[in-house]
Amino acid sequence: MSALRLKKREERRLQSGHDWVFSNEIDTQVTPIKNLEPGCAVTLESANGKFLAHAYVNPHSLIAARVTSRRAGRPFTATVLRQRLEQALDLRSYRYPNNFYRLVHSEGDFLPGLIVDRYDDVLVVQITTAGMEYFRDDIIDALIQLCAAKSIFLRNDSAIRELESLPLYREWVYGDAVDVLHVVENGLKFQVPAEISQKTGWFYDHRDSRAALAPWVSGKRVLDVYTYMGGFGICAASMGAQKVLAVDSSQKAVEAAIANALLNDCTDRFSAQCDDAVEAMRTLYEEGERFDVVVLDPPAFIKRRKDRDAGVRHYALNNRLAMRLLAPGGIIVSASCSQALSRDDLLQQMRKSIPKDSLGLQILAPLQQGADHPVNVAMPETLYLSGALARVV
């Protein structure tokens, strides 16, 4: 096993529990990295040669190494992988009565480069790093045994794989292919057509956010922007909203949302339209439409740090347009899945978006990813979803 030696004083972040080593932190004069095979196992050492951790490496990536074990005598193996999968499953089994959740949240579950979403006996797996790709067959075998899986889909088409010099592909690697992923959440049922699903299918991370909205919608008019499969809007309609309008730029997503409304017997209170979110909010305002509740759950506007300024402006624009549509005393659910935008940053944009004739904004509930997306306390990168349920007064 090759050793990578860090530059002087570069071990401090690693010793605090962080699991990434960046390429500029490695002393490449002492331990060259460029000829190492992507995904191969290495040991990490301090500048004086002291063992720090086991890791896997990718010389082509800015994140040159990811920690897999901190015990010198216990490198990462198929056995260790299975044990961590068992730990992840135990956490979800304790918290969720049904088998619908994110089973593995990458570094949040100490399995860097691996994401697994569970749809009962169907699993959607995403491998994003060369190091975890090496264990692909071991991952599949362990998941079949631990979850009694009938079908496993590898959704390995994330752009992150390109940074790791990995091929992009989608493949049903076990069992029969399924056309629809079934979800049970907060007492509601949803169907996600596999061919149009985003990322790993359903956004389980907002399960708690949708539950937090439920007590505030009875008898209200609700606008659900960036609805995707109708998660927030159908929750609102099922919890007694008078009328829900959902908006998404994908016609197929809109059709799936309408089908989900039918599945939950709320089509009389739920409608959906295909439109650009920003243009839809502008048009609704010009037409004099007002809503008691507006849900704003956009895609990540900041995917890379260089996009931060433009992304912040886009969050500001969306919040300003959404708040203009609120009736007096209206409630806004504003969320961000951009890790580079903190909750304080988002609240600042919400504050700046308050209409000038309003008294202010009351935070009724903070929003954060659910327990099936655990946060590694040493890695702020694993806390990516933030937001607030708030009232404009």
Active site residues: 337
Cα–Cα dist 321/103, whole Å: 36
Contact partners, residue 75, CB within 8 Å, separation at least 6: 1, 41, 54, 68, 69
- Chain centroid to Cα 333, Å, comes to 17
DSSP state of 220: -
**Dist. CA 21–CA 4, nearest whole Å:** 10
Q: Is 288 exposed, middle or buried (0-12, 13-18, 19+ CB in 10 A)?
A: exposed
User: Judging by DSSP bridges, how do beta strands 180-185 and 169-174 pair with one another?
Assistant: unpaired
- Helices then strands, counting H and E runs in the chain, come out as 11, 19
d(CA 337, CA 205): 10
Q: Is 372 exposed, middle or buried (0-12, 13-18, 19+ CB in 10 A)?
A: buried
